[in-house]
Amino acid sequence: MTARVLVGMSIREANAADELGAAAKAADARLAFLQVAGPALSTVLTELADAGAGRIELVGVALGRLAPGHSWLRRVAGHWWRERGAGAPEVVVAARLVGPDVAVPGALASALETVRPISGTEAPVTSAAWEEVPGYRRHLLVCRGPRCSARGAEETWGALAAGLSQRDLGDDDVLMTATGCMFPCNQAPVVAVQPDDVWYGGIGPGHADEIIDSHLVAGEPVEGTRIR
Average of per-residue pLDDT values in the chain: 95
For residue 54, the model assigns a pLDDT of 98
Strand partners, 117: 92
Contact 27, 51 (CB under 8 A): no
- Answer yes or no: do 16 and 112 share one domain: yes
Q: Using 50, 70 and 90 to split pLDDT, how confident is the model at 218?
A: very high
For residues 10 and 65, give the distance between their C-alpha atoms in angstroms, rounded to a whole number: 10
Q: What pLDDT score does 211 carry?
A: 98
Domain-located, residue 42: yes
Q: Do 157 and 93 belong to one domain?
A: no
Q: What is the CATH number of the domain that holds 95?
A: 3.40.50
Same domain, 161 and 101: no
Question: What pLDDT does 12 receive?
Answer: 86
Same domain? 142 vs 96: no
Residues 154-189: pLDDT tens digits?
Answer: 899 999 999 999 999 999 999 999 999 999 999 999
Number of domains the chain is built from: 2
Burial class (CB in 10 A: 0-12, 13-18, 19+), 205: middle
For position 108, what pLDDT does the model report? Answer: 92
Q: Do 32 and 70 share a domain, yes or no?
A: yes
The CATH number given to whatever domain includes residue 186 is 3.40.30.10
Percent of the chain with pLDDT over 70: 100
Domain of 71? 2-117
Report d(CA 125, CA 129) in Å as an integer. Answer: 11
Task: Tell me if 223 is assigned to some domain.
Answer: no
- Specify the pLDDT at position 129: 87
Q: Which of 84, 117, 150 is the last residue of a domain?
A: 117
Calculate mean pLDDT across residues 88-117.
96
Tell me, yes or no, whether 44 and 113 share the same domain.
yes
Same domain for 94 and 142? no
pLDDT, one tens digit per residue, over 27-69 is: 999 999 999 889 999 999 999 999 999 999 999 999 987 778 8
Q: Where are the alpha helices (DSSP H) in 9-139?
A: 11-14, 17-26, 41-50, 70-84, 107-111
Considering the domain architecture, whether residues 6 and 107 belong to the same structural domain is answered as yes
pLDDT of residue 61: 97
